[in-house]
Amino acid sequence: MTLALGVLVSGNGTNLQAILDATRDGSLDARVSCVISNKTDAMALERAARAGVPALAIPHQTFDTRAAFDRALVSALHEHGAEWIVLAGFMRVLTPEILRAFPGRVVNVHPSLLPSFPGTNAMRQALAHGVKLTGCTVHFVDEGVDSGPIIAQRAVEIVDGDDEHTLAERMHAAEHALLVGVLRDIAGGRVRPSIGAERPRHG
């Protein structure tokens, strides 16, 4: 099936770009219905606009509560026909508002081999701990922080002399490939929605 994706972003949007490139070259059977950022100056919005995709800024600071902000996101996502939601560098913890609106159909990409190094600054955490292997994870989103069922992971080696910049270059390449691959599996029915506490069901 052709996936109708709503992509939530906060920053540069390189994972978004990987999705846009894959939909354009036909390697991913999906369309990006809209891109929404909680930051008005996010580079990801420019990437979406250049691709002809609706690019919306909904600043979270203008809402009294997290739930009210998430309700505004849900309204915009529904308005643009999104069916699956991708968190691609979205630096907000979701409330149940979005999870109820898109049950089992919200996925996130995170720059560590979860459950190691959840939350922010995952690459900095990995370097500080001196681990020799890290990686990235695509997982279903639940009400916790990077705690939902894991769909797929890819390892990234940490080499001598690595800093956050050099590690990030390799991490981003791994994230792009992993995220697009998971979305391809969802489109092909090989990964199905994860409901409640169930593990993801592979076809």
Provide the annotated active-site residues: 110
pTM of the model: 0.92
Q: What is the CATH number of the domain that holds 149?
A: 3.40.50.170
User: Is residue 80 in a domain?
Assistant: yes
- Residue 128 class from Cβ within 10 Å (0-12 exposed, 13-18 middle, 19+ buried)? exposed
User: Is residue 203 in a domain?
Assistant: no
For 28, which DSSP code?
S
Predicted local confidence at residue 131, as pLDDT: 96
Q: Quick check: helix, strand or coil at residue 139? A: strand
If one counts the domains in the chain, the total is 1
User: Is residue 100 in a domain?
Assistant: yes
Q: Report, as ranges of residue numbers, the positions in the chain whose pLDDT lies below 70.
A: 195-203
Radius of gyration of the CA atoms of the chain, in A:
16
d(CA 170, CA 28): 22
Q: Could you tell me which of 197, 96, 194, 186 has the C-alpha nearest to residue 140?
A: 194
User: Is residue 198 in a domain?
Assistant: no
User: Is residue 94 in a domain?
Assistant: yes
pLDDT tens, residue by residue, 150-186: 999 999 999 999 999 999 999 999 999 999 999 999 9
The tokens for 28 are: 């991913």
d(CA 141, CA 104): 8
User: Is residue 201 in a domain?
Assistant: no
User: Is residue 71 in a domain?
Assistant: yes
Q: In terms of residue numbers, what domain contains 24?
A: 3-192
